[in-house]
C-alpha cells in the first residue's frame, strides 16, 4: 500500500473545485471531491463511507479504470497534464477498507428474492446494492468462482487476484447466496427463475472473440484473445512467434501474458496508427518495455499454413481523403508476409448468440440485450446491464449499470 505521506501529497493537489468535473467524468458518479477532502482531513473512514454510497469496487476501479479517459481526464489540472491521481487515492481507501475490514453497510430485513445471473462487475454490484437495501440475492455463475473478467480477463500483473478475491468476499459477506457452475441457457432457464424469484438481473458479459473473417482463420494455431485469457489454454509458447491482431486492452493483455509465458517474439498488428490505439497509454508503454513489437497501419488479410499456422499475409493501410472525410484504406501493392506460429484475435468481442436467443428478450442489432436507460428489458421482471447489454465495455460502466438496475429493481418491487 502507498504510504500516507505520498497519499497526502496527491490529495493536497486537489483544487476542491466548485464544479468538480472529475465527478462528471466518473461513470459511477463517485463523490471524488468529497472523498479527497476527507483524505486531506485524514478521515479515511469517512472517505470510504462516501465512496461506498456509489461503488463496491474501490480497490479494483482505483487500479484498472482508464482514469485518463474518465475522472482524471476531466480534472481541471489535466490542462497542465498533471491531473490529481484520483485512481491511486481510491485504491488507497479501498485497500484500507479491506485491510481494516470496514463492512459494507446494509439493511438486515429481507423483503424480496432476486436472482442475479453472472458474477462479474455488473452482477456483483447489482447484488451488493440490492442486498444493501434489504433484498435477498442469489447469484448464478457459470464458473466455480466469481469476478468475471476481473478474475479471468485482466491479468495478475495489472490486477492482483487477491484484491479481486477480497473485494468479492466482502460483497458475499453481505449475506449473498452463490450458486456456482450454473449456466443460463444450459443448466437454468429464465422461465425457471421467473417462477422462483421476484425479479432477475442478467449480467453475463460478452466475452467471445470476434472473427477476423479471412481465409485461414480455421487453421490450428488461431485463437481468440478472450478465450486464451478466460480458459488459460495450455499452449506451448516457448520460443514461438505470436501475432496478436488488435489495438485494445485485450490485445495488450494477451500479448503481455504470452510474452511472460515464454513466447520468443510477440508482434501486435494494428490496422491504424499508434495514436489511434484504444488501449490505455500505460499498457502500450509497458508492452513496449517488455519487448512486444508493434506493426501499425497494417491489416491481416490471410492466414497461411497447411494444417497449422505458418505465416500471415498483410497489407499496409493509410488514410485517404474522400469528400470531407478521411477513410482508412489498404495501400495497393503493399502486401507482405510474416512467419509466425500463432495468430491471436483481439478485434472485439460479442455475446454468446445461443444464450442470448434462449432468453426470449428483445436484442440489439449486435446481439446484446436491449435495455432502456434504467436497465429494463422487454420482460418487466427481467433487468440487464454491463457488457451483455452493450454498455461501454469498462468495469466502471458495468458496475454503474448493475447499481442503477438494482435501484430500478427496488422501484419495481415496491410498486
Ligand X SMILES: Cc1cc2nc3c(=O)[nH]c(=O)nc-3n(C[C@H](O)[C@H](O)[C@H](O)COP(=O)(O)OP(=O)(O)OC[C@H]3O[C@@H](n4cnc5c(N)ncnc54)[C@H](O)[C@@H]3O)c2cc1C
> Closer to ligand X at the Cβ: 68 or 78?
68
Check: CB of residue 105 under 8 Å from CB of residue 189.
no
What residues pair up with 325 in beta bridges, in sequence order?
322
CA-based R_g, the chain, Å: 23
Nearer to ligand X, 83 or 148 (CB): 148
Q: Which stretch binds ligand X (CB under 6 A): 199-207, 289-297, 310-318, 376-384?
A: 199-207
Pick 83 or 120: Cβ nearer ligand X:
120
Binding span for ligand X by CB under 6 A among 39-47, 87-95, 330-338, 391-399:
391-399
Closest CA to 402 of 377, 381, 384, 376: 384
Burial 375-397 (b: 16+ CB within 10 A, else e): bbbebeebbbbbbbbbbebbbbb
As beta bridge partners, residue 312 has: 303, 338
Task: In angstroms, give the least distance from the CB of 139 to ligand X.
Answer: 9
Q: Shortest Cβ distance from residue 176 to ligand X (Å)?
A: 14
Which of 20, 62, 87, 121 binds ligand X (CB under 6 A)? It is: 121
Question: Grid cell 480534472 — which residue?
Answer: 75
Q: Which of 35, 92, 129, 140 binds ligand X (CB under 6 A)?
A: 140
Name residues contacting ligand X, limited to 220-239 (CB under 6 A): 226, 229
Distance CA 210, CA 207 (A): 9
All three cell numbers of 319, joined, read 488514410
CA 42 to chain centre: 31
β-pairing, 293-295 with 265-269?
parallel
Binding residues among 296-325 for ligand X as defined by CB under 6 A: none
Residues forming beta bridges with residue 224, ordered by sequence position? 345
Cα separation of the two ends of the chain: 45
Question: Per CB under 6 A, which region of 33-41, 116-124, 335-343, 376-384 contacts ligand X?
Answer: 116-124
* The only residue of 114, 127, 128, 204 in contact with ligand X, by rule CB under 6 A: 204
Binding mask 326-365 for ligand X (x = CB under 6 A): -----------------------------x----------
Chain positions 23 to 62 lying near ligand X, rule: CB under 6 A, are: none
Q: Is 185 in the site for ligand X (CB under 6 A)?
A: yes
Amino acid at each position: 500500500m502507498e504510504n500516507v505521506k505520498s497519499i497526502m501529497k496527491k490529495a493536497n493537489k486537489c483544487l476542491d473545485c466548485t464544479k468538480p468535473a472529475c465527478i462528471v467524468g466518473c461513470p459511477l458518479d463517485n463523490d471524488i471531491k468529497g472523498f479527497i477532502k476527507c483524505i486531506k482531513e485524514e478521515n479515511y473512514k469517512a472517505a470510504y463511507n462516501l465512496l461506498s454510497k456509489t461503488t463496491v469496487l474501490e480497490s479494483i476501479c482505483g487500479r484498472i479504470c482508464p482514469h485518463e479517459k474518465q475522472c482524471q481526464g476531466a480534472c481541471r489540472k489535466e490542462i497542465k497534464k498533471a491531473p490529481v491521481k484520483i485512481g491511486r487515492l481510491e485504491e488507497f481507501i479501498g485497500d484500507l477498507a479491506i485491510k481494516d475490514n470496514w463492512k459494507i453497510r446494509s439493511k438486515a430485513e429481507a423483503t424480496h428474492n432476486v436472482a442475479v445471473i453472472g458474477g462479474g462487475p455488473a452482477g456483483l454490484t447489482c447484488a451488493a446494492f440490492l442486498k444493501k437495501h434489504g433484498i435477498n440475492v442469489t447469484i448464478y455463475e457459470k464458473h466455480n468462482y466469481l469476478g468475471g473478467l476481473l478474475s479471468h480477463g485482466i491479468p495478475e500483473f495489472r490486477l492482483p487476484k487477491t484484491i479481486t478475491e477480497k473485494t468479492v468476499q466482502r460483497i458475499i459477506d453481505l449475506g449473498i447466496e452463490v450458486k456456482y457452475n450454473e449456466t443460463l441457457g444450459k443448466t437454468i432457464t429464465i422461465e425457471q427463475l421467473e417462477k422462483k424469484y421476484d425479479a432477475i438481473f442478467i449480467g453475463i458479459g460478452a466475452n467471445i472473440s470476434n472473427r477476423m473473417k479471412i481465409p485461414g482463420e480455421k487453421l490450428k494455431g488461431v485463437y481468440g484473445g478472450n478465450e486464451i485469457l478466460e480458459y488459460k489454454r495450455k499452449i506451448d509458447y516457448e520460443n514461438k512467434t505470436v501475432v496478436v491482431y488488435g489495438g485494445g486492452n485485450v490485445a495488450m493483455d494477451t500479448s503481455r501474458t504470452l510474452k511472460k509465458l515464454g513466447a520468443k517474439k510477440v508482434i501486435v498488428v494494428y490496422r491504424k496508427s499508434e495514436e489511434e490505439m484504444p488501449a490505455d497509454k500505460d499498457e502500450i508503454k509497458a508492452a513496449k518495455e517488455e519487448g512486444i513489437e508493434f506493426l501499425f497501419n497494417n491489416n491481416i488479410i490471410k492466414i497461411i499454413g497447411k494444417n497449422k499456422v505458418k505465416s500471415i499475409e498483410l497489407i499496409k493501410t493509410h488514410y485517404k481523403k474522400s469528400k470531407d472525410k478521411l477513410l482508412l484504406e489498404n495501400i495497393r501493392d503493399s502486401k507482405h508476409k510474416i512467419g509466425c506460429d500463432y495468430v491471436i484475435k483481439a478485434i472485439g468481442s460479442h455475446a454468446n448468440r445461443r444464450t442470448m436467443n434462449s432468453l426470449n428478450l428483445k436484442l440489439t442489432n449486435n446481439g446484446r440485450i436491449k435495455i432502456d436507460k434504467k436497465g429494463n428489458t422487454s420482460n418487466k421482471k427481467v433487468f440487464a446491464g454491463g457488457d451483455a447489454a452493450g454498455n461501454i465495455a469498462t468495469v466502471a460502466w458495468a458496475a454503474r449499470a448493475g447499481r442503477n438496475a438494482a435501484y430500478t429493481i427496488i422501484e419495481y418491487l415496491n410498486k
